[in-house]
Amino acid sequence: MSLKSHGQLFLRWDTDFLYVDVRGPFNLEGVTAGFLQIQQSVSQYQRSAWVRIDVLDKETLGAPEVMKVIGASYKWCLQHGCVAIASVCSTSIQRQILEQTRQKTGMNLAGFTTQAEAEQWCRDQLAERLPPNVV
């Protein structure tokens, strides 16, 4: 018997920015489906350098097994052309979890309270990795 998927992702590309609008609490089925969505979108888009911005609602959280899949999705993105991942966090717990993940893994992640801050950080990260006049 399979469980019903919980949690939703809405993906949108804007040039080199992949926006991941994240809604609701996730179970393993929901986060796995979301990871697949991201993989398919990145494979179709085929950019050599890009950034990911996750926008989390207040309900976005998951059990430890869910967090492992999220970590795997970060790692996969960073291995497939993503140069940085920013999360716009709605709660302090989300930001703490992200910071712990960054410290434990060394991945290029950062948490922000506004989308504007996240976008600026991502622009800076892209600019550091691309030749002049490309960004």
What the chain holds in terms of domains, given with CATH numbers, is 8-129 (3.30.750.24)
What is the Cβ-side half-sphere exposure of residue 53, based on CA atoms within 13 angstroms? 24
Residues 18, 11 contacting (CB under 8 angstroms) = yes
Q: What is the mean pLDDT of the chain?
A: 91
Alpha-helical segments (H) within the chain: 28-45, 64-78, 92-105, 115-129
The answer to pTM > 0.95 is no
**d(C-alpha 126, C-alpha 130), whole Å:** 6
Residue-wise pLDDT tens digits, 76-121: 999 999 999 999 999 999 999 999 999 999 999 999 999 999 999 9
Residue-wise pLDDT tens digits, 109-133: 999 999 999 999 999 999 988 665 5
Predicted confidence band of residue 63 (pLDDT cuts 50, 70, 90): confident
